[in-house]
Amino acid sequence: MQEPVKAIFTECIQTQIASADLLQEPVMAAAELLVDSLLRGQKIYCCGESMAHASARHFAHIMLTGLQFERPPFPVHALHADYGANEHEAIFSQQILAVGQPNDVLVVLSAGNRAPRVSRAMEAALSRDMLIIALTNDGDQDVAGLLGPDDVEIRIPSRNSARVTEHLLQLVNMLCSLAEQQIFPQEESY
């Protein structure tokens, strides 16, 4: 019984190593986009497809309340996923169309191959001249094709949705930590 457990740990570690090699530049670019937007007074919205929505909500929570130290809240809002909506796939896009402003940022997370609700939100953000940060994976078929030259993609080097979901949580924690360090450099960050 120990071999399957060891195999899962090994796969996690391998994905971590590949991520450390591949994702440094896009993570820094995403952090810089977040910081620039926050310092200009823009709002940040986030959502995720399926299980990735929990990581999007976590991101909004830590950006509001602080991750490493007490600080003023950042204006970050998790889009709600009300399954009672008339058109399920439009739930995020309707919210972006209602509140999104030019140069606001939409952070989208996807752990699977398909992301219809997130894709529609991205289309709405593009129509509002918003910027997009996309956390995707090697199996993505919907999200990356909607990104423009000023947007940032952080593509997790895995197709395994469990490994991708683990990394989404790590990446949103990292983005919040980097934003806090850059906006409040005088605070103790560790």
In a domain, 134, yes or no: yes
Q: How confident is the model at residue 89 (pLDDT cuts 50, 70, 90)?
A: confident
- Give the domain CATH number at 80: 3.40.50.10490
pLDDT at 68: 87
In a domain, 116, yes or no: yes
Q: How confident is the model at residue 189 (pLDDT cuts 50, 70, 90)?
A: very low
In a domain, 90, yes or no: yes
Q: How confident is the model at residue 86 (pLDDT cuts 50, 70, 90)?
A: low
Judge if pTM exceeds 0.95: no
In a domain, 188, yes or no: no
In a domain, 170, yes or no: yes
In a domain, 189, yes or no: no
Q: In which domain, by residue range, is 87 found?
A: 2-183
- Tell me the CA distances in angstroms from 188 to 11, 180, 181, one per residue in order: 33, 10, 9
How many domains are contained in the chain?
A: 1
